[in-house]
Amino acid sequence: MAVQPRSIAVLGSTGSIGVNTLDVIARHPDRFQVYALAANTSVDAMLAQCEAFQPRYALMMDEAAADLLRQRMPASCPTEVLCGQQDLARVVAAPEVDAVMAAIVGAAGLPSTLAAAHAGKTLLLANKESLVMGGHLLMQAVRESGARLLPIDSEHNAIFQCMPVAADATPSLRGVSKVLLTASGGPFRDWDYERMREATPDQACAHPNWSMGRKISVDSASLMNKGLEFIEACWIFDLLPEAVDVVVHPQSIIHSMVQYRDGSVLAQLGNPDMRTPIAYGLGWPDRIDAGVAPLDLIATARLDFEAPDEARFPCLRLAREAVAAGGTAMAICNAANEVAVDAFLSQEIRFTDIPRVIEHSLSMVAAVEPVSLAVVETADEQARAVAQESVAGMLAGVKSVSNA
Ligand code: NAD
Ligand code: MG
């Protein structure tokens, strides 16, 4: 009997994860069909994706981009163009949708990720910022609606693969003593502070092993990515912070490990290609072709490990402090980081100013219980305002030095 293809909504379809997701989907036309695509402003890329995948809906968050897409959509496409958060929440919750790839970058992804969780969908979660920001709300929505959360972030996908998992995809901690979260160390792993102080956005985005969007690339260079992933691991697997260790592994071949009470350590290995965790999430519980080259262990030759240096990379410590503070501190940490990364990418502040901006916001904005989305969004806004002020102060400092 022919099986009905699963209907997928890909949010952030024009980004790095989105494009890789569509690459895997295109390999399995019998298994998957694209119901909706969503992006921010990239009209050309969205138009090409609509022509290739013929989705029912294409959503642009930006109104001018939505208008342009509507004008340019060929009559041969069955695609209706939508715009804005409300339309997006409605589309992900549509009864036709089986699974939602949440791959919008940053806090902007929270409302749609949450909508997918509330609607009980299979949630393929790449958008780690939404979990860092609203972990309590998101995990509660998953539990209450019976949604199935499958982690796409490579480390969490590896942990999921190495943990005991129930038939409904709920991970269990039976016999688990620790989770070992691997980190590549990023492009500045062996740079001293003075050199990092002069780092340019392009240097920060030149990741040695992974090709990714610019925001997560900067996060990888500062190790804030590992800080966010540390928080993400605590939420997804219901772990205490002391049960998660970060291990620097420069080759990015082991994507993370689970250590058991009896001394066993299970690891998931593979080439650093996001199509592996994406295919795992799309196909679960089956294993499907991802287009990824098989791992050549002889060519890899060696796997190295070292401890992270929290003096040179304070973002990891700041993420731990946000977890310890609890409540909306994680949302504050995330929002300040987003402002700082934007300011660094537009060359308003130095790379080494990123942790200073975050630390300042964490000390200035009081954390409260994250009882509702409104409370989390208020914390996010307050932290952004404080972070903008410290960026402006640093900018004034840079200008007065250059004018002297
Ligand atoms: P990217 O910058 O390449 O793409 C971001 C996508 O989000 C684009 O399609 C963009 O149009 C869309 N977008 C941005 N703002 C939006 C808004 N306000 N509303 C709707 N859409 C919006 O980013 P990426 O590297 O693909 O990362 C996406 C998410 O996946 C991030 O949360 C990142 O941390 C996570 N992630 C990425 C990788 C990776 O290898 N790239 C790995 C693990 C996790
Ligand atoms: Mg990761």
Concatenated DSSP letters of 336-373: HHHHHHHHHHTTSS-GGGHHHHHHHHHHHS------SH
Q: Which residues line ion ligand 2, judged by CB < 5 Å?
A: 153-155
Find out whether 181 and 234 touch, Cβ atoms under 8 Å.
Answer: no
What's phi and psi for 278, nearest 5 deg? -65, -45
Give the closest ligand to the alpha carbon of residue 209.
1
Q: What pLDDT does 2 receive?
A: 55
- Amino acid at residue number 79: T
Structure tokens at 269: 């290995």
Query: In 3-state terms, what secondary structure has residue 307?
Result: coil
Q: What pLDDT does 404 receive?
A: 43
Distance from residue 165's CA to the centre of ligand 2 (Å): 20
Cα(243)–Cα(251) distance, rounded to whole angstroms?
24
Q: What pLDDT does 123 receive?
A: 98
Q: How many other β-carbons are positioned within 10 Å of the β-carbon of residue 359?
A: 18
Nearest to 134 by CA among 395, 370, 389: 370
Computed on alpha carbons and rounded to an integer, the radius of gyration of the chain in Å comes to 21
97: number of CA atoms within 13 Å, CB side? 30
Please give the model's pTM, rounded to 2 decimal places.
0.96
Q: What pLDDT does 403 receive?
A: 46
Domains of the chain: 6-151 (3.40.50.720)
Cα(345)–Cα(202) distance, rounded to whole angstroms?
9
Q: What pLDDT does 75 receive?
A: 94
| Residue whose CA is at the smallest distance from ligand 1 atom 2 | 213
Mean pLDDT, consecutive 10-residue stretches, the chain (404 aa), reads 83 98 98 98 98 98 98 96 97 98 97 98 98 97 97 98 93 97 97 97 94 96 98 98 98 98 98 98 98 97 97 97 97 98 98 98 97 96 98 76 46
Within 6 Å (CB) of ligand 1, which residues are found?
12-18, 38-40, 42, 61, 103-105, 108, 126-129, 153, 210, 212-213, 215-216, 274
Q: What pLDDT does 4 receive?
A: 83
Structure tokens at 101: 């790839």
